[in-house]
Amino acid sequence: MARAALSADAVVDVALRLVDEEGAAALTLAAVASRAGVATPSLYKHVRNLAELRALMSVRIMDDLAVRIGGAVLGRRRSARS
């Protein structure tokens, strides 16, 4: 990832891929920075700390879930659920 492309959203993207591939225990700012191709201090321009990164990841996951659930039930009537 090019440094110019680094943003809070890009950091979350990298972190989600990391967790998907290696598990939650692998999530550290150093690991995210390494995957993003930047030094760890560079992440602090986009996220305050690991807790904030986890919160941003949770928001992304919940937003994605809401979109998927909304799409799954869109257009269904009460009679169709019986």
What pLDDT score was predicted for residue 3? 56
Under CATH, which architecture does the 3-81 domain have?
Orthogonal Bundle (1.10)
Helix, coil or strand: residue 45: coil
Its pTM stands at 0.82
Instruction: Using the CB atoms, write b or e for 27-50: b if 16+ within 10 Å.
Output: bebebbbebbebeeeebeebbeee
What pLDDT score was predicted for residue 77? 67
Residues 71 and 27: their CA atoms lie apart, in Å, by 30
- Whether the predicted pLDDT of 81 surpasses 70: no
Q: What is the pLDDT of residues 15-71, one digit of tens each?
A: 999 999 999 999 999 999 999 999 999 999 999 999 999 999 999 999 999 998 988
What pLDDT score was predicted for residue 28? 98
